Amino acid sequence: MEGASHIDFIVAAYAVGGAVVGGLTAWVMLDYRAQLRNLADLEKRGVTRRSAPARGEAVMQQAKEEA
Amino acid sequence: MAIVDLANPSRFLKFANRVIPWLGGLTVVAFAFAINQAMLAPDDYQQGATVKIMFLHVPGAWLGMLGWGVMTVAALGTLVWRHPLADATAKAAAPIGAAFTLMCLVTGSLWGRPMWGTYWVWDARLTSVLLLFLLYLGVIALWRTVEDPSRAARAAAILTLVGAIDLPIIKFSVDWWNTLHQPASIMRLGAPTIDRSILIPLFVTVVAFTLAFATLLLAATRNEILRRRVRTLRLMQASAAS
């Protein structure tokens, strides 16, 4: 069986392999950037993981002052 | 750092940030070597140059099954220990495993047409791998339809454990039934039936693809942890506003 006559099948298979690896890499990288952007956006608005206890402490402090 | 420490999402993120660039670099080097080895590999005496499709088809099959194996272990982590990192890993592994299973199916079809005279037959090996792909799609759909991540994780974990039955069926389908697909030629009792001149490039490509899988899984799990942080912060913001 002559391999050369099936070159189109070989090229198509390697194109599929490249598309799968390239597509997954692009998906992971773009998703990472999107999540970092979302986190930065929330941080800019003052919503951070540390902000919840900090706000809680501020509210407690204000309540003590009022008392 | 002990392995157990990585179960903490924050420590996992630090670990992933440090390891991903190195693992990615190693993957690129491995792929460069693998492409070189695949190009230099001789044609098969019967199949000619189409044997080179094997360098994609076999890693696709291996990683499709490995992906489900990772999800099965993670499913146990979800159901037994209810660990959020297990959920994140399972969710991250599903699209990667599905993509490699699809690569296995498509490259197999492209190899089958010139060798068997057909793109597809409903034999046990091909059908059980198609079933694996459909199971992947089912798990991905579950994650997308159930909004609460912990409920979605439990539902996906149960489907994953049930679907794990397909893994031994795929492996032994060529022994249990008469199939057009060839019997095992690498992972079998006795020596591999493939000549060294093709077996070594195959091994190199499998290593390169496995490194790519590990890098992608690590990066996708990191993304999933970050996505959950974003979700938590948005919920906090919404509850503070109301």
B19 belongs to a structural domain: no
**Nearest residue on chain B to A46, judged by CA atoms?**
B237
B234 belongs to a structural domain: no
Q: Quick check: B224 and B90 in contact, CB under 8 A?
A: no
A53 touches chain B (CB under 8 A): no
Residues of A in contact with B229 (CB under 8 A): 35, 39, 49
Residues of B in contact with A53 (CB under 8 A): none
B175 belongs to a structural domain: yes
Q: Shortest CB distance from B96 goes to which of A5, A24, A42?
A: A24
A38 touches chain B (CB under 8 A): yes
Check A39 against B96: CB less than 8 A apart.
Answer: no
Check B49 against A14: CB less than 8 A apart.
Answer: no
Q: Shortest CB distance from B43 goes to which of A3, A23, A52?
A: A3
Q: Which domain holds residue A17?
A: 3-66
Q: What is the pTM of this model?
A: 0.89
pLDDT tens profile B37-59: 999 998 888 888 999 999 999 99
- Asked whether residue A50 carries a pLDDT value surpassing 80, the answer given is no
The arithmetic mean of pLDDT across residues B62-78, rounded, is 96
Token pair 């194996």 is at which residue?
B69
Check A16 against B106: CB less than 8 A apart.
Answer: yes
Question: Which residues lie closer than 8 Å to B240 by C-beta, 6 or more apart?
Answer: A47, A55
The terminus-to-terminus CA distance of chain A in angstroms comes to 92
B159 belongs to a structural domain: yes
pLDDT tens profile B75-110: 999 999 888 899 999 999 999 999 999 999 999 999
The pLDDT, as a whole number, for residue B187 is: 67
Give the tokens for residue B183: 């019997």
ipTM exceeds 0.85? yes
Q: Quick check: B30 and B232 in contact, CB under 8 A?
A: no
CA nearest neighbour of B75 among B95, B94, B56, B52? B94
| Displacement of CA B136 from its chain's centroid (Å) | 10
A40 touches chain B (CB under 8 A): no
B239 belongs to a structural domain: no
Q: Shortest CB distance from B50 goes to which of A9, A31, A48?
A: A9
B111 belongs to a structural domain: yes
- Give the total number of structural domains in chain A: 1
The arithmetic mean of pLDDT across residues B67-74, rounded, is 97
The pLDDT, as a whole number, for residue B165 is: 96
B68 forms bridges with which residues in the sheet? none
Residues of B in contact with A6 (CB under 8 A): 48-50, 114
Q: Which domain holds residue B66?
A: 48-182+196-229
| Displacement of CA B187 from its chain's centroid (Å) | 18
pLDDT tens profile B191-210: 677 788 899 999 999 999 99
Give the tokens for residue B72: 């099965």
Minimal CA separation from A44 to chain B, in Å: 12
B44 forms bridges with which residues in the sheet? B48
B189 belongs to a structural domain: no
| B112: amino acid identity, one letter | G
The pLDDT, as a whole number, for residue B166 is: 96
- Asked whether residue B30 carries a pLDDT value surpassing 70, the answer given is yes
B149 belongs to a structural domain: yes
The pLDDT, as a whole number, for residue B123 is: 92
The pLDDT, as a whole number, for residue A48 is: 80
Check B103 against A17: CB less than 8 A apart.
Answer: yes
